[in-house]
A = this chain, B = another copy of it.
Amino acid sequence: MSDLGAALDVVGARWALRIVERLLDGPQRYGDLQRDLGVPTNMLATRLRELEAAGVLSRLPLRHNTRAYALTERGLALHDAIEALGRWGAEGT
C-alpha cells in the first residue's frame, strides 16, 4: 500500500484529523472536544480509542474521573499535513 494509503488508514476517518487539529492546541478533555467540534459522542469515543491504539494520542488522567487527551510525538508530526490541508481549504474562497 502507498504511504498516503497508510496515513489515511489511520487518520482518514471522518473526524480523526479534526480531533488531532484540536489537540495541536494542547491537551483537551472529552467534553471540550465534543463541544468544540460538534462531533457525536459515540464517534468521538470510537475515534479516540482508535487514535490511541494507533499511537497518535494518549490519555492522561486528571482528577478522579476526568482525563485529558494529548498528542504523542507521532500525533504532533501530523502538524505539517494538517496545516497544508488547512491552507488548501482556506484558498477555496
Contacts and interface: CB of A to CB of B under 8 A. Distances in A.
22 contacts: A3-B87, A3-B89, A4-B17, A4-B82, A4-B85, A5-B89, A6-B90, A7-B85, A7-B86, A7-B88, A7-B92, A8-B18, A12-B14, A74-B92, A77-B88, A77-B91, A80-B87, A81-B84, A81-B87, A84-B84, A84-B85, A85-B85
Interface in A39-92: 74, 77-78, 80-92
Interface residues of A, number: 29
A92 B90 CA distance: 28
Most buried by B among A6, A80, A85, A92: A85
Interface of A: 2-8, 10, 12, 14, 17-18, 21, 74, 77-78, 80-92
Contacts of A4: 17-18, 21, 82, 85-86, 89
